[in-house]
Structure 1
Amino acid sequence: MINILDKTFVPFISKEDIETRITELAALISKDYKESCPVFLVVLNGAFLFAGELVKRIPLSCEITFIRLASYSQTESAGSVTEIFGIDKSLENRDVIIIEDIVDTGLTMSQLLKQIGKMSPKSVEIATLLHKPEALKTPVIIRYKGFEIANRFVVGYGLDYDGIGRNLDSIYVVA
């Protein structure tokens, strides 16, 4: 068990299971994009650990860029998305892979997909470490999923509770 601020969390997904799944996702992406030089669009802050581990296992020529969005307040989705800083490169006629830490309501991803669609990419796919299908409020197609989980609040491996817990090497769930 660990305590973060006013909440107690228990182990949920181990470091070893995360690393194994990331290796599997990297192999799938490498196979699918072997004839391409994809752009990995990393959604900050949460996806930084997942993205780092994923892309270092992909032996392709690629580009990496970042976007920062905010959609959470404490443990709940705020229901709206604020762009803190945006995409700084042309995505026209490029294969884009969005790397996200977690897709739950789908609202953030839906808005990001609309924004990217206006930039005329060749293709856009999503790679997420976690997916909460029960929490979806808008449909989102996710090609590369690490783990499907129940609609519970999690921290670790980039995910936080009010800014704390991102540095944990495993994923914990609120007790």
Structure 2
Amino acid sequence: MDLLKARAMLDNAEVIHDESTVQRAVDEVAAAICARLADKYPLVLCVMTGGIVFCGQLMTKLGFPLDFDYLHATRYGPETQGGKISWRTAPWTSVRGRSVLVVDDILDEGVTLAAVKESLTRMGAAEVLTAVFADKINGKHKPIAADFVGLTVPDRFVFGFGMDAGGVWRNLPAVYAMKDEA
């Protein structure tokens, strides 16, 4: 994608959740996680690359000791439709016997997050909890429900706050969707 196409994409999008709504959601998820995990000394795993913005902001609001690592599993790559799961990096930190919190950007169809949870459980995690910034309301049966959800989004292609559109706009502080085509 080039600069002009990226700017045109944003110009042809509408705000779904503004920055203040996004920040309130991060605060609410952080409070719920603190209530659940403050006495566990958990391992927080960020799902790359989409989860990085949410995870980074969320961690600054978790007032308890934790370990941090990441994993990279995806079904998307540069496409907007999910495909086969690609495992790029497993966590370097052992999950055995740990309370693990997996943080991701969006729960779309849930296939990737379910596979991640199953894999971490097989690796010996004592418990695996999941936090997603956005849960897409798409009417599909999902193999997993997130334990902590920031916001819901409509069944449209959304981007911003960690979620990309053609590789760009993860850095937006709000959530956008392409305007409906007539």
Q: Structures share a fold, TM > 0.5? A: yes
> What's 1:4 paired with?
6
Among 19, 24, 31, the alignment partner of 1:20 is: 24
Superposed displacement of residue 138, structure 1: 3.6
RMSD between aligned alpha carbons? 1.8
In structure 1, what is the Cα distance between the partners aligned to 2:118 and 2:22?
A: 29
Contact 2:133 2:151 survives alignment (8 Å): yes
1:78-157 correspondence to structure 2 within 5 Å: 78=83, 80-134=84-138, 136-157=140-161
Structure 2 counterpart SS, 1:132: strand
Among 61, 71, 82, the alignment partner of 1:77 is: 82
1:53-76 CA deviation, whole Å, 9 max, x = no partner? 101001010011101122114322
1:33-57 CA deviation, whole Å, 9 max, x = no partner? 1211011110010111100110100
Superposed displacement of residue 5, structure 1: 6.9
> What's 1:31 paired with?
35
User: Is the strand fraction higher in 1 or 2?
Assistant: 1
- Identity over the aligned pairs, expressed in percent? 22
1:72-103 CA deviation, whole Å, 9 max, x = no partner? 1432222x110111111110111011100001
> What's 1:45 paired with?
49
Q: Which AA in structure 2 matches 1:57?
A: K
Per mean C-alpha deviation after superposition, the further-off stretch among 39-48 and 141-150 is 141-150
In structure 2, what is the Cα distance between the partners aligned to 1:167 and 1:6?
A: 16
Q: Which AA in structure 2 matches 1:163?
A: G
In structure 2, what is the Cα distance between the partners aligned to 1:49 and 1:119?
A: 26
In structure 2, what is the Cα distance between the partners aligned to 1:17 and 1:140?
A: 25
> What's 2:171 paired with?
167
Superposed displacement of residue 6, structure 1: 6.7
**Length-normalised TM-score, structure 2:** 0.89
Contact 2:100 2:127 survives alignment (8 Å): yes
The runs of 5 or more residues in structure 2 that have no matched partner are none
The runs of 5 or more residues in structure 1 that have no matched partner are none
Aligned length: 173
In structure 2, what is the Cα distance between the partners aligned to 1:135 and 1:55?
A: 31
Structure 2 counterpart SS, 1:172: strand
Structure 2 counterpart SS, 1:101: strand
**Length-normalised TM-score, structure 1:** 0.92
